């Protein structure tokens, strides 16, 4: 295991319900540190670019509309095995399949409005961090 960085988004369904602090506590309780953070209103261009890998999926339009429907909190999380650990704390994409105690089990509304995003591999983590943050905005 090694210290890694991963990219996280607290999605509009969660910011709207004022769950930002509760979600960040879950990261911190799991040993992840917030080393960069910004609350933004994503543009359509940013959302389409960020989720370009899902462009051909039937839910792409719905996903982009949702991601720009309200503010999001973008973050870089750092810790031991951070990519896998964050995915563990998030729980399964569909909250119905998520384990007890995970963010999605406790807070997500549906498979689409599922409260958080987390990078799924070292390469995507690096790309996603770079998509939103400059080096000097990340203070580990």
| Chain positions contacting ligand ATP, by CB under 6 A | 54, 59, 62-63, 93, 111-112, 114, 117-118, 120
Give the DSSP H/E element, type plus range, for residue 16: helix 12-16
**Distances, alpha carbon 34 to alpha carbons 45, 50, 88, 108, 140, in Å:** 26, 21, 17, 21, 8
Nearest residue (CB) to ligand ATP, 38 versus 57: 57
**Distances, alpha carbon 107 to alpha carbons 12, 86, 111, in Å:** 12, 15, 12
Nearest residue (CB) to ligand ATP, 41 versus 97: 97
User: Residue 43 annotated as binding?
Assistant: no
Longest dimension (CA), the chain: 39
- Shortest Å, Cβ 76 to ligand ATP: 15
Active site residue ranges:
117
User: Residue 11 annotated as binding?
Assistant: yes
- Shortest Å, Cβ 136 to ligand ATP: 26
User: Residue 17 annotated as binding?
Assistant: no
Nearest residue (CB) to ligand ATP, 117 versus 133: 117
């Amino acid at each position: 295991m090694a210290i890694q960085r991963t990219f996280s988004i607290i999605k509009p369904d969660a910011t709207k319900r004022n769950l930002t602090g509760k979600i960040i506590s879950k990261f911190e309780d799991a040993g992840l540190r917030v080393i960069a953070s910004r609350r933004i209103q994503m543009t359509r261009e940013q959302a389409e670019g960020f989720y370009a890998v899902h462009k051909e999926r039937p839910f792409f339009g719905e996903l982009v509309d949702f991601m720009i429907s309200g503010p999001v909190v973008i973050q870089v999380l750092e810790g031991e095995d951070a990519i896998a650990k964050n995915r563990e704390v998030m729980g399964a994409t569909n909250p119905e399949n998520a384990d007890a105690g995970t963010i999605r089990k406790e807070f997500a509304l549906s498979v689409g409005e599922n409260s958080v995003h987390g990078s799924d591999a070292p390469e995507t983590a690096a790309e996603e961090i770079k998509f939103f943050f400059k080096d000097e905005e990340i203070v580990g």
